[in-house]
Structure 1
Amino acid sequence: MIFITGGTVTLSDRRTERTWQTVVASYALATTAVTRSEYQRVTGGPPPSPADGPLPAVEISWWDAAAFCNALSQQERLSPVYRLDPLAEVAEWDETANGYRLPTEAEWEHACRAGTTGPHYGALNDIAWYRHNSDERSHPVGGKQPNDWGLHDTLGNVWEWCWDVYDPEAYGTYRVLRGGGWFDEHWSCRASVRRRSHPTLRLDDVGFRVARSATKS
């Protein structure tokens, strides 16, 4: 986990041509997406083959990702952040809890940019696995250059679930995905791009990384 100093983030949506600002507090964010071996260790699911261990965990629904955060919190004797009832489509965030959670999309974009203002924090071939260089498959996490704050693969490799609902009036419970993936063209692997998916779907180019509300102390 890397400590991220908070700040003001400007987000935008190409579909609605809307722009808005969000203030984020300081937080901590994992340097990479959760891997298949990490997911198996926490959830007790089938172990990946040795070659698959460092690959990002994929085919993980939003509900799976949130449940993983609670399970990891419990393993590390932290307070679970979420109250989850998938059948009732209820997900509540206890902001007093100190456990693991999904980043908000403002936190995600703030961390991805790492103080930069362009579409990428470096040359895309150097920082991301995408359709041009991925051989149309995911790759072990951390294999490309990190951004200036030490975060790997925020662009490319796999899309990442965020906490936020995408647009409840138009899309109901659909949740936000960020970052672009191994099958995407370069225009989808940009710091500002938003994608949506139903929280029950499990897709082969979608994973997640964990965050914690945190201070330096």
Structure 2
Amino acid sequence: MDASAGPEMIAVPAGQVTLSDRRTQRSWAVELDTYQLAMYPITQMLYTHVTGEHPSTALGDHLPVEGVSWWDAVQFCNALSHRKGLTPAYRQVGGQDVEWDVTADGYRLPTEAEWEHACRAGTAGPRYGPLDEIAWHRGNSAETIHEVGGKHPNLWGFHDMLGNVWEWCWDIYDAEVYGTYRVLRGGGWFDERWSCRASVRRRSHPTFRVDDVGFRIARSVVR
């Protein structure tokens, strides 16, 4: 993986995904146009190449970057967009508010609907394969993070969608109860098997940093 080349992106086909909320017992369908999503979580090598920073606890070029907040991830997206000559997706409009320019061709965080659609890759079960073959979790990780791409990808070519690190998404989790908390998806290297499922949602404050949370990036297909 060459950091200067940027992330390897995969085109995700249009489709529909159904999301659900445990608190409200509500489910809702989301229609998605085609988009691009990174094959792997953002690595430490790429993150450092773009930002000059080394936030992770465990060090390794091909380990997922961790110890990054939602804000860090948003700023990374804009920085990478600038490097590639693309229009940044995010504008900071004051305080803790960020505005997403949906017409921009730059890098951004996936919505949780986009994340789950790509994770499932056309499958309907809780996982896209046998867990030990596709994910690093507490039962097989030796309670440590692992290099990206070490487990089998899903049918669309995405690695580490489950396990290894949780991944920040664009969405607010539940504004009525949790305010500005953002959605995390995918489960991590310290999580039990139950948490490593396509539908599991976690939440945290956008300034939160911990050693099992990273992110991967998306791009809109701008017509």
Q: Which moved more, 1:29-38 or 1:6-15?
A: 6-15
Mapped pair 1:208 → 2:215: yes
Distance 2:70 2:76 in 1: 10
Closer, same or farther: CA 146–174 of 1 in aligned 2, 3 Å: same
Q: Which moved more, 1:76-85 or 1:163-172?
A: 76-85
Closer, same or farther: CA 200–28 of 1 in aligned 2, 3 Å: same
Q: How does 1:10-159 map to 2 (within 5 A)?
A: 10-46=18-54, 52-84=60-92, 88-159=95-166
Quick check: 1:37–1:48 contact (8 Å CA) kept in 2?
A: no
Q: Give CA-to-partner distance per residue, 1:42-70, whole Å, 9 cap, x none.
A: 00124989x60000000000000000000
Letter in structure 1 aligned against 2:124: T
Letter in structure 1 aligned against 2:127: H
Q: How does 1:160-171 map to 2 (within 5 A)?
A: 160-171=167-178
The CA deviation at 1:84 is 2.3
Distance 2:21 2:190 in 1: 21
Distance 2:41 2:55 in 1: 17
Match of 1:6 in 2: 14
SS in 1 for 2:160: coil
Letter in structure 2 aligned against 1:53: D
SS in 2 for 1:52: coil
CA RMSD of aligned residues (A): 1.8
Unaligned runs of 5+ in 1: none
The CA deviation at 1:16 is 2.6
The CA deviation at 1:103 is 0.2
Distance 1:26 1:57 in 2: 26
Match of 2:5 in 1: none
Name the TM-score, length of structure 1 as normaliser. Answer: 0.95
Name the TM-score, length of structure 2 as normaliser. Answer: 0.93
Quick check: 1:58–1:206 contact (8 Å CA) kept in 2?
A: yes
Quick check: 1:37–1:47 contact (8 Å CA) kept in 2?
A: no
Distance 1:16 1:34 in 2: 33
Quick check: 1:84–1:90 contact (8 Å CA) kept in 2?
A: yes
Mapped pair 1:184 → 2:191: yes
Quick check: 1:13–1:193 contact (8 Å CA) kept in 2?
A: no
The CA deviation at 1:25 is 1.0
Closer, same or farther: CA 161–135 of 1 in aligned 2, 3 Å: same
Unaligned runs of 5+ in 2: 1-8
Closer, same or farther: CA 46–11 of 1 in aligned 2, 3 Å: closer
Q: Give CA-to-partner distance per residue, 1:118-170, whole Å, 9 cap, x none.
A: 00000000000000000111100010000000000000000000000000011
Distance 2:202 2:27 in 1: 16
Tell me which stretches of 4 or more aligned residues in structure 1 moved more than 6 Å: none
Q: Give CA-to-partner distance per residue, 1:9-68, whole Å, 9 cap, x none.
A: 10112233221111111100000000011100000124989x600000000000000000
Closer, same or farther: CA 197–48 of 1 in aligned 2, 3 Å: closer
